[in-house]
Amino acid sequence: MVTAQRPTADVVTPFINTPLTDFSQQENVRAQRDALRQVESELGRTYPLIIGGERRQTAETFASINPAHPDQVVASFAKAGAEEAGHAIAAGWERFQTWQYVPASERAGYLFKTAELLRQRRFYFNALMIYEVGKSWIEADADTAEAIDFLEFYAREALRLAERQPLTRIPEEENDLLYIPLGVGAVIPPWNFACAIMVGLTSSAIVAGNTIVLKPASTAALVAARFVDLVEETGLPAGVVNFLPGPGGTVGDALVEHPLTRFISFTGSREVGLRINERAAKFQPGQHWIKRVILEMGGKDSILVDETADLDAAAAAIVASAFGFQGQKCSACSRAIVVDSVYDTVVQKVVARARTLTVGDTTDPINYMGPVVDENAYRKIQGYLDIGTSEGKLLLGGEALDCPGYFIAPTIFGDVAPNARLAQEEVFGPVLACLRVANFEEGLMVANNTEYGLTGSFFSRDRARIERAEREFHVGNLYINRKCTGALVGVHPFGGFNMSGTDSKAGGRDYLLLFTQAKAISDKVR
């Protein structure tokens, strides 16, 4: 067991982002291949629930499969139900009675140590995601790097919030403002950033002094299970993190509705997010608080290009944003909105670039795109391919690939109408809709015409238009002359407007406030 250190704000170095791995270096290629072989040797194991530090098996199990080879079981898991959800919340509540008083410096120390362990096993966690969710080497490595960043950043934020807060001072009183934790929360991460978002949601809550029940996405439960093992290795007290894999319809609802649940932190679909928000708002007998809900629910993100832009840079950004990790990012560019005078040129460049993308099993680093995550996603995206043929002109792809896994070719539809389903609904796959607009003004209007508001990008050399887009392009993360994916912790606080969620700004200085409540203390001087 490793003992967590107790840092203080004045001795911690400033936060810097974790560099990505350079896979042009052969030693890194060898290390990644070794990690893939290690994970392959571990495939098929069964993992238990962890409740209050106790490992529990259940009568039923479920499997996580390799989407590149659906007949290959990556791991099996004990399948929790509503009863186990109640036990996990109770265990978290019991541990909260002591964990809430652990100094911020000690809580931060656990995160710093976890970050160091994750650095040491970076290639292993990359390999887990390559097998379990079909990430390419580069995408998996960026995911792990972001997870390390969340641990490092939130540890420093906990130290900052624990410092004496600036208040207006008066001579007759001693006044302080303390940020105290909320209680026990349900953490429900997605599968698409199986390491980064899962780690971010978990670490932010516990470093603020809360305890949690982690209900991982069933398609990415192995990454979460191995991370919980990593956290346990630091000596984190039992019950701070409880691991509860199981179906969202039963386990998720039970966690959300439990009267002892104080908050729910969720990243996922609009439909599930709204369901959580509705159920959390309903008072339960024995409940002593209004539950706090932190939601990030996806997007329908656009890259807008005007006639003054660097068209090659715009095309490169569109392709990277649309097809990285098979378009399975809430920040992915699913709409290219291009001014008419350069539309044909930009779309031709986009199609030419997308045509070169390699698709296949991502255990081979030659493949830029892997499979979509599971059969449900595969069928949903196929449905949108059918819709696209009636709503636009098929320019590239449009078919599933003839191989065992859930592979879909990068697909581009041209001349899609702004109000078409393909231009309004979140596909969450490698499908790009290209929209032709008369001018910048119309393009800006179209960019704002969905119910979402997560990310967006504007390519232009016209400073007046850029300034207008900065005011009027209504998204939580707006990028100028760069792609609309790839937010960095501490650099681009991430979260969106409207149906994209509660604009929670993960990786920003406001984020830990969501897991605390402010207590003002006034002591009259005698």
Q: Angle between the 137-162 and 104-120 helix axes, to the nearest 10 degrees?
A: 160
DSSP 8-state secondary structure symbol assigned to residue 415: S
> CA angle, corner 63, sides to 225 and 85, nearest 5?
60
Contact 294, 265 (CB under 8 A): yes
468-493 b/e (C-beta count within 10 Å ≥ 16 → b): bbeeebbbbbbbeebbbbbbebbebb
H/E stretch holding 385: helix 375-391
- Which residues lie across from 213 on neighbouring strands? 186, 242
Q: Give me the residue label for tokens 């899609």.
A: 416
Question: Under DSSP, is residue 467 helix (H, G, I), strand (E, B) or coil?
Answer: helix
How does pLDDT run across 357-412, given as a tens digit for each residue? 999 999 999 999 999 999 999 999 999 999 999 999 999 999 878 889 999 999 99
Nearest to residue 84, comparing CAs of 116, 47, 58?
58
Query: What pLDDT is stored for residue 327 in this prediction?
Result: 98
Structure tokens at 141: 């490595």
Contact 78, 47 (CB under 8 A): yes
**Cβ atoms within 10 Å of 370's Cβ, excluding its own:** 27
- Which residues lie across from 51 on neighbouring strands? 54
Query: What pLDDT is stored for residue 2 in this prediction?
Result: 42
- Those residues of the chain that have pLDDT short of 70 are 1-11, 526
- Which residues lie across from 408 on neighbouring strands? 400
DSSP 8-state secondary structure symbol assigned to residue 494: B
Q: Note if the pTM is more than 0.75.
A: yes
* Phi, psi values for residue 443, rounded to 5°: -60, -40
Instruction: Write down the catalytic residue from 296, 307, 391, 426.
Output: 296
Distance linking the first and last C-alpha atoms of the chain: 48
Query: What pLDDT is stored for residue 10 in this prediction?
Result: 56
Q: Which residues contact 250 (CB under 8 A, 6 or more apart)?
A: 81, 82, 85
What type of residue is 247? P
Query: What pLDDT is stored for residue 4 in this prediction?
Result: 45
Query: What pLDDT is stored for residue 8 in this prediction?
Result: 58
Domains of the chain: 26-297+504-522 (3.40.605.10), 301-488 (3.40.309.10)
The per-residue DSSP string of 139-184 comes to: HHHHHHHHHHHHHHHHHHHHHHHHSPPP----TTEEEEEEEEE--E
Query: What pLDDT is stored for residue 403 in this prediction?
Result: 85
H/E stretch holding 200: helix 196-207
Pairing mode, strands 431-437 and 333-339: parallel
Is 106 a known active-site residue? no
Instruction: Write down the catalytic residue from 139, 195, 257, 330.
Output: 330
Q: Which residues contact 299 (CB under 8 A, 6 or more apart)?
A: 330, 331, 332, 426, 452, 453, 454, 455, 475, 496, 500
How does pLDDT run across 149-174, given as a tens digit for each residue? 999 999 999 999 999 999 999 999 99
User: How far is residue 413's CA from residue 393's CA, in Å, rounded to a whole number?
Assistant: 5
Q: Which H, E and C letters describe 99-119, residue by residue?
A: HCCCCHHHHHHHHHHHHHHHH
Question: Under DSSP, is residue 319 helix (H, G, I), strand (E, B) or coil?
Answer: helix
Is 83 a known active-site residue? no
User: How far is residue 340's CA from residue 436's CA, in Å, rounded to a whole number?
Assistant: 6
Q: Which residues contact 116 (CB under 8 A, 6 or more apart)?
A: none
User: How far is residue 109's CA from residue 11's CA, in Å, rounded to a whole number?
Assistant: 12
User: How far is residue 146's CA from residue 158's CA, in Å, rounded to a whole number?
Assistant: 18
DSSP 8-state secondary structure symbol assigned to residue 310: -
Q: Which residues contact 85 (CB under 8 A, 6 or more apart)?
A: 213, 244, 246, 250, 251, 254, 255, 258
Q: Give me the residue label for tokens 């199981």.
A: 246
Q: Give me the residue label for tokens 């403002």.
A: 177
Report H helices in 208-302.
221-233, 253-257, 270-281
The sheet with strand 61-66 has its strands ordered as 46-47, 69-78, 61-66
User: How far is residue 157's CA from residue 9's CA, in Å, rounded to a whole number?
Assistant: 9
Nearest to residue 33, comparing CAs of 366, 368, 373?
366
* Phi, psi values for residue 99, rounded to 5°: -65, -30
* Phi, psi values for residue 502, rounded to 5°: -100, 15
